[in-house]
Structure formats: structure tokens, C-alpha cells
Amino acid sequence: MPLYCVMNIGAHVSASGGLWEAPANAAALGCETFQFFSRPPQGGIAKPIAEATADRFRKALKSAKIASCYIHAPYVLNLASSSDRIFHTSISLIRQELERGSLLGCQAVMFHPGSAKDLEKKEGIKQVMKGLNEILNGYDGSCQLLIEISAGAGAVMGDSFEEVAAFINGAERGKEIGVCFDTQHAFASGYDLRTKEGLEAVLKAFDKLIGLKKLIVFHVNDSKIKLGGRRDRHEHLGKGEMGKSAFQALIQHPKLQKKDMIIETPFDSGREEDIALLKSFRKV
């Protein structure tokens, strides 16, 4: 039996052929939760979700016995951009994904804040806050907005708990915003998760600055990059710089038993092994 019988484990899966295909693809991997793109990750115009499509998706979720699901926003977004066109397009796309997630019955949409390469850091933080305000202005859907912790390459925003806290605390509806914690991104940003003691210290820092109640879901990935390497490079669990013990500590931590765990490891046969490994750690 699972340690507390409430943690859901899953993966990022394809929705190719129709959004309703994602739940079956997740179930085939042994997922209890999953993440997907509701449109191409490069962005662009997405086909509106008809009620028939939404109904088919929700029925597929029930049939696959999936507990929860999440949408990952397109990678092209940048709320810290100095370009008005990019900034406002990013706002529009994230808002659309929240609306689409609400139609489908998804728990949340996670996004990367973007890069402030053309702005000073303080201005970049203000720009992200402004974007969050515009995204949530008038929004009354059921799908939650999540900020994903970044790996911090270059001028990428959101690589520290302090910055993520600044975004949330500075937004008018910050109480409604949650966090997606990517283990590889955090590790690449200098947060050492390799031991129980390291994980405990990182979670205490997170709780102090942001609050564990804001931590909604984990992206569970090992790292091809060394601690503090500041690059986004995922690896299969236990085959990177973090090691299996990091993920055993994560899965068995008593304060994380209600958090969903989603792998984003390379798309090959190793993903099933990653999911099985996490499930094995969940058992007493």
C-alpha cells in the first residue's frame, strides 16, 4: 500500500490525435496523474475546445481512472520581455490555457516566467507581476495558475525562491497562484536535494519564503547538469547528478504526501522505469 495513499504519480504525455487521447496515453504508462500540452509547445493559434471535445476528454479521464491532470503552457511565453508584442501575446496565451484547462477539468496550468535579458532584474520582476495581474483580471475559472521554478540560465526569471515569492506577493491575486517545483531546475539553480537533510533544508527555505501550501505539483526529474550548473537538462531518475536517494527522500517526505509527482524525463522506454521507481519508493 502507498505510504499515505494520496500521492499521485505520473508523466508528461502526448495529446497527439486529439486532446482526449492524453488520458489513455497516461494510463498506458501507469500514470495516476499527467501533464500535457493543449496546443503545440511552440505556441500559435489553437483550435477552440468544443463542448463535445471537453466532454470526450472528461469521459476519457474517468475511463482511465486518472486522479488529476495539468496543462503545460507553451515554451515561447515571456512575461519578462521588453517587447510589448511578446509580453501581451504571452498574457493572452496563458489566459487562454487557463480557460481551456477549466473546460477540460484540469487542476492547473504551469508556465515559465521568461527571461529579462533586455531589462534590469527589478524591472523584470515588476514586468512579471504586471503580467500576472493582467492574466488573472476577471478570470473566474476553476483551473489554477502555477509558476514553475526555472533552472536560471542567463537572465531567466524565477530561479530562486525569493523571486518566485516576489512574483506571487506582488500580484493582486497572488493568493490564488501556486508553484510547480521542478527538481532538476531547482538543483541546477543551486538547491541541493540529494539527501534527506538537503531536501529538508530546501523545503524549510521554500516554506519560509513562499509557503508549502503554495506547492501544488512537482516535476520529478534527475539532472544531466551538476549542482548550480544553471541549465535545463533532464535525465532519467537515478541516472543523473541527483541520484536515486534524492527521489526516495522526496517521495517519502511526510509533508509531500498530498503533492502530485510528474516526470518529464526523456521520451523513451526509460519513462516507465522512472514511474515504477517512484511508485516503489511510495510503498512502506
Residues 264-273 have pLDDT tens digits of 999 998 999 9
pTM: 0.96
Please report where in the chains the cell 498530498 appears, as a residue.
258
Q: How many domains does the chain have?
A: 1
Could you tell me which residues are beta bridge partners of residue 69?
Answer: 34
Count of beta carbons in the 10 Å neighbourhood of residue 264: 18
* Confidence band of 4 (pLDDT split at 50, 70, 90): very low
Does residue 237 sit within a domain?
yes
Q: What mean pLDDT is predicted for residues 55-65?
A: 97
Does residue 4 sit within a domain?
no
Does residue 196 sit within a domain?
yes
At 176-235, the pLDDT tens digits run 999 999 999 999 999 999 999 999 999 999 999 999 999 999 999 999 999 999 999 999
DSSP symbols for 68-134: EEEEEPPTT--TT-S-HHHHHHHHHHHHHHHHHHHHHT-SEEEE---B-TTS-HHHHHHHHHHHHHH
Does residue 283 sit within a domain?
no
The helix/strand count (H/E) of the chain reads as 9, 10
Structural domain for 139, as ranges: 9-278
Can you give the pLDDT at residue 284? 53
Write the CATH number for 63.
Answer: 3.20.20.150
Q: What mean pLDDT is predicted for residues 107-135?
A: 95
